[in-house]
Structure formats: structure tokens, C-alpha cells
Structure 1
Amino acid sequence: MEKKVTIKEGMDIFYKNAGKDIWVYIGLFGNKVLSILKNKGVIACENDAEYCVLMDGEDHFISIAKDMSHDYCCEYVVERAEAYRDYPSKGATCSVCLFEDNENKAREMLKEAIIELSKNNIIDCDGL
């Protein structure tokens, strides 16, 4: 006999990580210095592709992708550092989201992303 899923059981999937902390690290690399801003958020709900996160001190939610296998265009991705060329300066902006408050891990991940970006762009990575 097939078990019917109740609405409550179906909704539990969307809230299984509700209340879990997540940290967003945003980096700016320029003049041979990597500056990092750390923000803490709390997961409110989720679907297969992303988390809906309320950042501390903010009155709106942000989306954080769970991984890049979904065709989503979130600004942030969990456990994956992204770096982009910062055109006004000759540096880079970067970000990573972690389920732990670990600035050293974030800094290393951001450095790797900037070095990878520098391979195809004119970015001086001295100082990393």
C-alpha cells in the first residue's frame, strides 16, 4: 500500500534547515590587499536549489544557491567562492558562503578564486 504524504510532511522539507546560521563573506581585492566583510544570516526556508536567508540587521531576504547544478542565478553559492573583475579599480570582488564562522577558510577560498580569475584577466595578485 502506498503511503500518502500529508501537507505537513511535504512542507517539512522546506524548513529542515530553518534557523541554521550561515555566514556570507564578501571580499574586495585591490592595491595588493584583500579586505573581507563578514555578515551572518539565518536560513528561513529552502527549496531544491536555494536557501532563503535573512541577514542580521536587514529587513529583506537574500537567496543563496545550494550548488551550481541548478539553472539559478543567485549572487551567492554555498561553499563555492566566486570572483569577478572590479572594473572601476584594477582588482576583484569576491564572495563565499559558509555554514561555519571561519574567516581563515573563507580567505583561502577567496584567494584561490581571485588567482583563478587572474589567469584570464589582468589582475596583479601580489599580496595574496
Structure 2
Amino acid sequence: MGTPAEDCIEFLERICWGGTPQCPYCQSTNSTAIRQERRYHCNTCFNSYSVMVGTLFHGSKVPLAKWFRAIHLYLDKDLKIKSLSTRDLASRINVNKNTAASMLKRIRSSLESDKRLLKAILSKRLEDSDGTE
């Protein structure tokens, strides 16, 4: 078991790629791992990428563990929005209110575009709290 960040990235790789990295730019699976950065280099289109490209986490400096916690606090298991203010989220995951507002905006946007990812993250949190996995 690695750090929380490594665990989150491994989890995302399992649910997004099923264990085989796929380039988000050309959909090729012909890639080489760049281990120091948890990124991959596509040998077809020559771009580098990580599992976060094309997700709500792309370009964010907020640690994935905080993202996962925010999703768990903001949504229930049926993807219904819970009553949670920006300031409340900010204090509960220890970020400033502007960061929390940006995170909530991205989560709401993902409700329309990437429900499968959000459901998988919510189910992971439920499994972790049950002590099973």
C-alpha cells in the first residue's frame, strides 16, 4: 500500500483504463510508462498523459484524496447533491473557499458528463468505510 495519492491514482487507472493505459488523444494503448511522474508517453502520437487527462481532476493542484473526500461529502450514492455549502466543504477538506467553489463547479459539471467515474469513486468510499475492498 502506497501513499494516499498513489492509491487514488491506481484506483483511477483501474476504473478508467482497466489496467491498460490508453492515450486520451489518439486512443492508442501503445505507450511507455514514465515511472517518476505516474505518467505515460504515447508511442503513436508522442504526447504524454496521465489518467487525470479528460477528467474533473485534470489541471488541478488539489490532492486526489481531497477530491475523493469532496465528492463523497457532496454526493450521495445515487448521485444526488447533498446540502453542502462552499465554506463548509472548504473547512472540512482544508482548502480555501475559492478552491472549494471551483471543486464543486467541476463536480456538478461531471454529473452531466462522467457519472460512471463519480459512481466508482462513491462506491470506493463506501467500501473503504465498510472495511472491505
TM-score normalised by L of structure 1: 0.23
Q: Which structure ranks higher in relative contact order (CA pairs < 8 Å, sequence separation ≥ 6)?
A: 1
Higher helix share: 2
TM-score normalised by L of structure 2: 0.22
Larger Rg over CA atoms: 1
